């Protein structure tokens, strides 16, 4: 059976840096609170005149292709993880396909929020293992700044989320690559972290867009405490599941890349698993939580910094809206 190997990584974040001090001008918050509760120092917000989810993904893709010594035409299929597509439909996968100048390859969107990139990776891995495709572009990308309530009312989410894109090229290989993926969900908690509108489950005639004065249902709503409590349990559980499935121990992990939700969550997992600090990669300080973008951006940066080497065991883990949670264990 074929394995899937990540042969190239790339990421792109918008140029505009938004500091905690800048957010504090419109929101009743402050640098100390944000750093203490989340670890975030700054994040990137798009320039709506130039950045789209698809074109950020295209920029990340070109970097990943260069690093893999591949051309755009080598891509057989796109799996695009985002909960913030450029349009309500179609998904951003087809927009990326157009942006890359590819004619008719398939493009699939995955809407699993913070776990989206691992779900996408797992989907691409399955396609490669069956022999259906040889080279798959896997994206995690988000523009969240446009759906945040950047007032005091939305302060528990406004200070957390950021924009950015990451890309991974997966190729069939006879060697090791992705060893396993584990995917989970629990829809009982769907409304604990969600954006309600535009949803199809309510009659649209009741609220014509031009009549909408209260746009709060279009903003991110999060029960932060509850999400936090579930996250720390599920992260740990799904990492252990990955290790057990591969008959490995925590000592075998060379690098753990957790979804960048909150530095306190990452630190909790690191301490609970008794991993050395340098075995857990964090960049939330610079980018905030970029949802599906966070893991591929972090992987790309870790690779650039020489923290992922051939033969390493890299563990990815995520938890988020849905609730969904997931892990992937990779032999690089
Ligand atoms: O990636 C998807 C998954 N998402 C997550 O995993 C996020 C998980 N949750 C969290 O990261 C944390 O719950 C937050 C960072 C969102 C909030 O931190 P917290 O320590 O859970 O704070 P809290 O919600 O319990 O709020 C504590 C206090 C409250 O005030 P009172 O009621 O104690 O007077 C909040 O109103 O902090 C207040 N608060 C703020 N104060 C200053 C909430 N947001 C802010 C803010 N600035 N931005």
pLDDT digits (tens, 9 = 90+) for 79-114: 999 999 999 999 999 999 999 999 899 999 999 999
* Residues 304, 191 share a domain: yes
Distance CA(55)–CA(272), nearest Å, equals: 39
Mutate to test the pocket of ligand 1, among 23, 228, 232 (most ligand atoms within 8 A of CB): 228
* Nearest residue (CA) to ligand 1, atom 3: 320
Distance CA(48)–CA(213), nearest Å, equals: 22
Residue range 135-160: average pLDDT? 95
* Nearest residue (CA) to ligand 1, atom 21: 225
Answer yes or no: 20 catalytic. Answer: no
* Residues 121, 8 share a domain: yes
* Residues 186, 106 share a domain: no
Residue range 157-182: average pLDDT? 96
pLDDT category of residue 204 using cuts at 50, 70 and 90? low
Please count the residues of the chain.
332
Q: Is the CB of 148 under 6 A from ligand 1?
A: no
* Residues 198, 61 share a domain: no
Contact status, residue 222 vs residue 157, Cβ threshold 8 Å: yes
* Residues 12, 159 share a domain: yes
In the beta sheet, which residues pair with residue 170?
6, 136
* Nearest residue (CA) to ligand 1, atom 9: 224
DSSP letter at 63? Answer: H
Give pLDDT, residue 197. Answer: 87
* Residues 234, 305 share a domain: yes
* Nearest residue (CA) to ligand 1, atom 44: 156
Answer yes or no: 223 catalytic. Answer: no
pLDDT category of residue 214 using cuts at 50, 70 and 90? confident
Q: How far is CA 329 from the centre of its chain?
A: 16
Residue 205 has pLDDT above 80, yes or no: no
Answer yes or no: 267 catalytic. Answer: no
Structure tokens at 214: 């209260």
Q: Is the CB of 40 under 6 A from ligand 1?
A: no
Q: Is the CB of 225 under 6 A from ligand 1?
A: yes
Domain containing residue 111: 3-176
Last residue of a domain, one of 156, 176, 196: 176
CA distances from 313 to 41, 58, 179 (A): 29, 28, 9
Q: What is the pTM of this model?
A: 0.96
* Residues 67, 163 share a domain: yes
Active-site position among 3, 55, 112, 114? 114
Give pLDDT, residue 211. Answer: 63
* Residues 185, 170 share a domain: no
pLDDT, one tens digit per residue, over 280-310 is 999 999 999 999 999 999 999 999 999 999 9
* Residues 172, 226 share a domain: no
CA of 156 to the centre of ligand 1 (A): 5
Residues 6+ apart with CB under 8 A from 212: none
Active-site position among 259, 262, 283, 315? 259
pLDDT, one tens digit per residue, over 24-55 is 999 999 999 999 999 999 999 999 999 999 99
Query: What is the tally of structural domains in the chain?
Result: 2
* Residues 263, 120 share a domain: no
Residues 6+ apart with CB under 8 A from 125: 4, 170, 177, 178, 181
* Residues 110, 187 share a domain: no
Last residue of a domain, one of 143, 176, 209: 176
Residues 6+ apart with CB under 8 A from 134: 76, 128, 171, 172
Residue range 6-23: average pLDDT? 98
Give pLDDT, residue 1. Answer: 72
DSSP letter at 303? Answer: H
CATH number of the domain residue 280 falls in: 3.40.47.10
Question: Beta strands 77-81 and 106-110: pairing type?
Answer: parallel
Q: Is 56 helix (H, G, I), strand (E, B) or coil?
A: helix
CA of 94 to the centre of ligand 1 (A): 36
Last residue of a domain, one of 148, 176, 204: 176
* Residues 289, 206 share a domain: yes
C-alpha count within 13 angstroms, C-beta hemisphere, residue 280: 23
Q: Is the CB of 227 under 6 A from ligand 1?
A: yes
Distance CA(215)–CA(147), nearest Å, equals: 10
Distance CA(175)–CA(113), nearest Å, equals: 30
């Amino acid at each position: 059976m074929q394995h899937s190997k990540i042969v190239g990584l790339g990421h792109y974040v918008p140029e505009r840096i938004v500091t905690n001090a800048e957010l504090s001008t419109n929101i009743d918050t402050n640098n100390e609170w944000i750093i203490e509760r989340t670890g975030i120092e700054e994040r990137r917000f798009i320039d709506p005149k130039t950045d789209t989810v698809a074109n950020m993904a295209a920029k990340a893709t070109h970097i990943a292709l260069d690093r893999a010594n591949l051309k755009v035409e080598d891509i057989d299929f796109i799996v695009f993880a985002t909960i913030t597509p450029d349009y309500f439909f179609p998904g951003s996968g087809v927009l990326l396909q157009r942006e890359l100048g590819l004619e008719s390859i398939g493009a699939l969107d995955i809407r699993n929020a913070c776990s989206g990139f691992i779900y996408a990776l797992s989907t691409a891995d399955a396609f490669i293992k069956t022999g259906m495709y040889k080279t798959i572009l896997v994206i995690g990308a988000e523009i969240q700044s446009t759906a945040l309530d950047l007032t005091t009312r939305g302060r528990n989410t406004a200070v957390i989320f950021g924009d950015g894109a990451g890309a991974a090229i997966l190729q069939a290989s006879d060697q090791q690559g992705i060893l396993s993926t584990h995917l989970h969900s629990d829809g009982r908690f769907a409304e604990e972290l969600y954006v309600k509108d535009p949803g199809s489950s309510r009659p649209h005639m009741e609220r014509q867009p031009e009549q909408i004065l209260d746009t709060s249902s279009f903003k991110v709503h999060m029960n932060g405490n509850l999400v936090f409590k579930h996250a720390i349990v599920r992260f740990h559980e799904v990492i252990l599941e990955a290790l057990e499935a591969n008959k490995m121990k925590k000592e075998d992990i060379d690098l753990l890349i957790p979804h960048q939700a909150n530095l306190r969550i990452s630190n909790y997992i690191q301490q609970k698993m008794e991993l050395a600090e340098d075995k857990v990669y964090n960049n939330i300080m610079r980018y905030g939580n970029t949802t599906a973008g966070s893991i591929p951006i972090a992987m790309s940066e870790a690779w650039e910094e020489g923290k992922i080497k051939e033969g390493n065991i890299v563990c990815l883990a995520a938890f988020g809206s849905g609730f969904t949670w997931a892990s992937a264990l990779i032999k690089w």
